[in-house]
């Protein structure tokens, strides 16, 4: 049987559905080399802000007993001047690159996205959902009017596609609606979830920032639920992200409505996971008589 794992997001062609999530490498040209070795279908940069950010002091990551991670890196990155170097390095490999854009104001979002557009990135992903950096993430994305204003401003300023990355909130459906109305061509769902871990011996929070973003297997069913609900209501192009650790997790996202899937925590723990998942996905497709992975996008919603 001839099988096809090829797909696309915002008309960006992908050899298969799997890419890294923002925050997993992608802040320096040398890290692009590593992501290519991981066999991502597209490179997603770390979130790039207008000016360089140092981030928080250690400890910034805690590994949990349930397989998850909590991190509070603080959006550490070199600033927008790194963008042309990242794009040039991805072009060496003929691999699409999506620049993750962060900002504390509409102007900053526009400036960073415009730099990505100027140097011909394939798309930008607006980080509207970081749960642990004050003024940069979920505080913006949980307000649909903020989402509307930022997406409209960025979409009206650049030519390349805009992807809105939204996090868990009680107004995520409305934020998704606003993002799509104002020009977003796709949604990335979801980001890490605000969480806290306490050292029971020191009796204090472990992270210097106190709160961090929970990622890994514990958030996967929540992420699948959000993808399912947003796809059911709006039928947008979706990149699913959250807690992928094997092919079943990827298949769940696709069946819920995602055309592509990002991997984060699992790539840190197992750098060779993507080829393994792709092989197992193909075995599943043979078993289920699926010739093209796009045939089953959103299949869980079909009667």
Taking only the tens place, the pLDDT of each residue in 143-199 is: 899 999 999 999 999 999 999 999 999 999 999 999 999 999 999 999 999 999 999
Dist. CA 38–CA 97, nearest whole Å: 15
The reply to whether 1 falls in a domain is: no
Whether 191 is in a domain gets the answer yes
Domain that holds residue 70: 7-301
Residue 260 is given by DSSP the state E
CB 57 within 8 A of CB 208: yes
CB count within 10 Å of CB 226 equals 25
Q: Report the distance separating Cα 89 and Cα 241, nearest Å.
A: 24
| pLDDT tens-digit series, residues 267-283 | 988 999 999 999 999 99
How does strand 43-44 pair with strand 97-101?
parallel
- 222 lies in some domain: yes
Q: Does residue 2 lie within any of the structural domains?
A: no
CATH of the domain at 35: 3.20.20.70
In this structure, is residue 223 part of a structural domain? yes
Which pLDDT band holds residue 134 (cuts at 50, 70, 90)? low
Residue 235 lies in a domain: yes
% of the chain at pLDDT higher than 70:
95
Is the residue at 51 inside a domain? yes
Domain count within the chain: 1
Catalytic residue set: 130
In a domain, 37, yes or no: yes
Task: List, in order, residues 6 or more apart from 221 with CB less than 8 Å away.
Answer: 243
């Amino acid at each position: 049987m001839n099988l096809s794992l090829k797909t696309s997001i915002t008309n960006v062609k992908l050899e298969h559905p799997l890419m890294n999530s923002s925050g997993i490498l992608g802040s320096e040209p040398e890290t692009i080399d590593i992501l290519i070795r991981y066999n991502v279908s597209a490179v997603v940069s770390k979130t790039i802000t207008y000016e360089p950010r140092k981030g928080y002091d250690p400890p910034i990551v805690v590994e949990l007993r349930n397989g998850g991670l909590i991190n509070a890196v603080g959006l550490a990155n070199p600033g927008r001047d790194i963008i042309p170097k990242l794009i040039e390095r991805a072009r060496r490999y003929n691999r699409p690159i999506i620049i993750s854009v962060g900002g504390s104001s509409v102007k900053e979002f526009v400036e960073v996205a415009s730099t990505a557009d100027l140097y011909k990135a394939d798309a930008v992903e607006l980080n509207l959902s970081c749960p642990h950096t004050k003024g940069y993430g979920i505080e913006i994305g949980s307000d649909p009017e903020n989402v509307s204003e930022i997406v409209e401003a960025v979409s009206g300023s650049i030519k390349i596609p805009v992807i809105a990355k939204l996090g868990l909130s009680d107004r995520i459906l409305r934020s998704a609606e606003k993002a799509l109305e104002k020009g977003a061509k796709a949604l990335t769902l979801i980001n890490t979830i605000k969480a806290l871990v306490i050292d029971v011996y020191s009796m204090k929070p472990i992270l210097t920032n106190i709160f961090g973003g929970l990622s890994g297997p514990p958030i996967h069913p929540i992420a699948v639920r959000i993808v399912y609900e947003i796809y059911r209501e709006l039928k947008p192009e979706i990149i699913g992200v959250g807690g992928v650790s094997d092919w079943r997790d990827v298949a769940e996202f696709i069946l819920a409505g995602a055309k592509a899937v990002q991997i984060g925590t699992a790539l840190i723990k197992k750098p060779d996971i993507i080829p393994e998942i792709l092989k197992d996905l193909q075995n599943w497709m043979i078993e289920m008589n699926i010739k093209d992975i796009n045939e089953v996008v959103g299949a869980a919603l079909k009667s």
